Chains A and B, each alone.
Chain A
Amino acid sequence: MSHKVILNIENVSQWFGKNRVLHDINLKIVQGQFVALVGPSGCGKSTLLRAILGTEPPKEGIIETDGVQVIGPNRNVGIVYQKYGLYRFLTVQENVAFGPKLDKTQIYHRTCMPWHWLPLKKQQREEAKAMLEKLRLKDSHDKYPSELSGGMQQRVAIAQALVMKPKLLLLDEPFGALDESTREELQMMLLRLYQENLAAIKIGEEPPWTVIIITHELNEAFYVSDRVVGLSKNWREMPKTGGMKRGEHFGATKVWDKAAPTFRPDEPKDFSRFIPMRDELKNSVLSEVGNVELDRNAHVSFWDDLANGVGTGVAFTKGPSDE
């Protein structure tokens, strides 16, 4: 089975002045994966996200999306923030159609060639409407964002990003400010998108959505993703490998990288499938009790597991040509 790598992070380090935030991060994400990025507060998750987005490029290392080095924010990487996700001066439908408008036309085209722009505008509005219906927002397209609940606003923000069909979608704690029922509703929406990926692979097509989600909620991380990556500042190299000892580094690095069990939106939420793994992650990566230093590579086994065929998820799913 060959895997198309959509995101390639190689030896990325980031620091601000004397504050080293990220240290030597390496991560490859396969097309179609839903990856949850977890870690204690202040461990640099959002810094890594901004580096992937291109707004704060790393001081060391390279980041490539679909083989192209990231040098700034671009239409291939979509983003959904926890707040300020929508443009307040546009209606819901205009917000969703905003991306295609900017992506496919230019100012002179829209102002000087109305005979070409107006039909295109109508078509883009229809596409936006269809996307809103897909995300169950069909009755809200004429409203302004301030007239929607927090959950609906986040769904619109996701629709705004999805309509661009980005190669990689970044979700920066997207459900952090939402109540429990709304959060569950949006988690279901992510599971439905994930099912589209699996369905595409099974018929030999490229999975349409590749997602990285930052979350503080471990249950959510395991529930909506098929791979969990953990960052921590509390790590050391194994001495026998001649690596660094504590004190020689201060930035966070990848200390957890494993496939997670996958869920279907129509099946019951059975957390027991990932509770042992979740607790292990919690105790080793997130807990700072006793100041125990982690072996950097002890829980990084995704690619070995993939090679051995041990795990579930998009990367493990076979297409028609693999059978």
Chain B
Amino acid sequence: MRIKQPIKQRWKIILGVIGVFILLVIYSHLSYRQHVKNPTDTTMPNFSQLMDGIKMVTTPRENALQAAFGVVEEPSSNPIVRFWTQSWKTMIVQDAWATYSRLVKGLVWGCVLSMILGTLMGCFDGLASFLLPTLSFLSKVPGTAMLAVFFVLAGTGETMFIAMIGFGILPTLTQSIYLSARDDLHHEEIDKAYTLGASNIEVIWEVVFPQILPKILDNIRLQLGPAMVFLIAAEMLVGQVGMGYQVRMQQRLLHMNVVYDYLFILGATGLLMDKGMLSFRQWWCPWFDRDR
């Protein structure tokens, strides 16, 4: 086989499945060895322990406050409403909602600001000269090390999580968008837009932005991982609810079956978001893949 020689799609799928299978076999073997030594071990939970973990996180929990005051809620007669209200009482839904709503809000703020700044920096040299040194410096400071600063500046409430994600991804994302806006457009394309009657705003909105949009979407995809790292780290430190908070709590209680369930959900959701972004980019910018 030569370097970069393509293989058939069928083989790609088979090799991917084999990779996952090997991971499962290694885990099962380690778990088995651990349980041979200690049948009650929870550090490497076996299949039934993992199922127990799933049951635990999906079982509705009673509201401790309501229970203390003897408040009893009448279940709705509508099965859909009943399912919905019961779901909101489960650990996984509460934590997932807290984490992903923070993630989405933070990403929206960070992405919108980065798109505006990066695009304008690519269009106006003066703005790039003004902002680039600061952004380059900030992008080299590890995001998790900046947590202390965010705790001090934005407190430990919801605003802090959103600001931390937004400003955490901003330096790197802005620089990537700036480079796309600067390098992906030839001056001929800009000059031509002017000869077609475009104003400066129209050149930015109608020429520069659509041209770099696929790169922006790809860069946002790449920032999903770092954004999640900032969020989970912050939740582990100061969260009252959320995936990071729960992983930390359950790890302290040695409920690793719950931890692994949460890790699986985090990984699967990340993968889905990544594929979703990719599909969105392919649908919204069909020309991009044909152009390459």
Binding site for B on A (CB under 8 A): 53, 55, 72-75, 77-79, 81, 83-85, 87-90, 98-99, 102-104, 106-107, 144, 146-147, 160-161, 164, 166
Contact = CB atoms under 8 A, between A and B. Distances in A.
Contacts of A83: 186, 188
B191 interface: yes
Given A89-B287, A144-B291, A147-B290, A73 B194 contact: yes
Contact of A79 (B192, B197, B211, B288): B192
Contacts of B3: none
Contacts of B285: 89
Interface stretch (B46-54, B166-174, B202-210, B232-240): B202-210
Interface of B: 186-189, 191-199, 201-202, 205-207, 210-211, 213, 285-288, 290-291
A89 B196 CA distance: 16
19 contacts: A75-B196, A79-B188, A81-B188, A81-B192, A83-B188, A84-B189, A85-B188, A87-B211, A88-B291, A89-B285, A89-B287, A99-B197, A102-B198, A102-B206, A103-B197, A104-B197, A144-B286, A161-B195, A164-B195
Given A88-B291, A146-B287, A147-B290, A99 B188 contact: no
Contacts of B207: 87
Q: 10 closest A-B pairs (Cβ-Cβ)? A: A103-B197, A73-B194, A99-B196, A75-B197, A84-B188, A84-B186, A144-B287, A102-B198, A146-B291, A102-B197
Nearest to B207: A87
Contacts of A89: 210-211, 213, 285, 287-288
Nearest to B285: A89
Contact of B191 (A53, A144, A146): A53
A103 B196 contact: yes
Contacts of B291: 88, 144, 146
Max chain A CB contacts within 10 Å: which of B186, B193, B195, B205? B195
B40 to A, nearest CB: 61
Contacts, number: 75
Contacts of B288: 89
B195 A53 contact: yes
B186 A88 contact: no
Given A99-B196, A103-B196, A166-B195, 7 more contacts: A53-B191, A73-B191, A83-B188, A84-B186, A88-B211, A102-B197, A102-B206
Contacts of A103: 196-197
Given A73-B191, A146-B287, A146-B290, A107 B197 contact: no
A143 to B, nearest CB: 9
A102 B205 contact: no
Given A83-B188, A87-B207, A107 B194 contact: no
Contacts of A85: 188, 192
Nearest to A82: B188
Max chain B CB contacts within 10 Å: which of A73, A160, A166? A73
A102 B202 contact: yes
Max chain A CB contacts within 10 Å: which of B205, B211, B287, B291? B287
Nearest to B192: A79
A103 B210 CA distance: 19
A164 B199 contact: no
B196 A102 contact: yes
B186 A73 contact: no
Given A89-B211, A146-B291, A73 B188 contact: no
Contacts of B194: 72-74
Contacts of A81: 188, 192
Contacts of B286: 144
A98 B287 CA distance: 17
A164 B196 contact: yes
A222 B117 CA distance: 50
Nearest to B184: A88
A160 B202 CA distance: 17
A231 to B, nearest CB: 21
A144 B292 CA distance: 12
Contact of B189 (A87, A106, A164): A87
B205 A107 contact: yes
Contacts of A79: 188, 191-192, 195
A56 B16 CA distance: 55
B67 to A, nearest CB: 54
Contacts of A164: 195-197
Nearest to B199: A106
Contacts of B205: 107
Given A88-B211, A89-B285, A73 B195 contact: yes
Contacts of A88: 211, 287, 291
Nearest to B202: A102
Contacts of A104: 197
Contacts of A99: 196-197
A55 B195 CA distance: 10
B130 to A, nearest CB: 24
Contacts of A90: 210
A164 B196 CA distance: 7
A132 B169 CA distance: 45
Given A88-B211, A102-B202, A144-B290, A74 B195 contact: yes
Contact of B195 (A75, A106, A107, A147): A75
